[in-house]
Amino acid sequence: MKKLIMLAFFAGFLTLSVSSCRDNKKTQEDALIEEMQDKGADIQVKDDGKKIKMETETEKAKIKTDDDGNTKIKKKDKD
């Protein structure tokens, strides 16, 4: 009986410790998209999400993802 209780305790502890380590942070891309949506940007998605262009009256932003998963972000003001 004591072994069963200890096994249940350690299983519960392991479950909690593994599930609490999940990363809930937003990626830089998600944060930029949300920021531009809040500003009312026109958003164009091309190539199944590999290229995203966003434009407001005052700024432009581009997010490109290559085949290896590398992401490039360009953001600049319109002048």
Predicted confidence (pLDDT) per residue in 19-48, tens digit:
655 565 668 888 888 888 998 889 999 887
Q: What is the reported pLDDT for 3?
A: 92
CB 20 within 8 A of CB 41: no
Q: What is the reported pLDDT for 67?
A: 85
pTM over 0.85: no
Q: Collapse the DSSP code of 48 into the 3-class scheme (helix H, G, I; strand E, B; otherwise coil) and give the result.
A: helix
CB 32 within 8 A of CB 63: yes
HSE-CB for 44 with a 13 A CA cutoff: 8
What is the C-alpha separation between 63 and 53, in angstroms, rounded? 7
Q: Where are the alpha helices (DSSP H) in the chain?
A: 2-19, 28-38
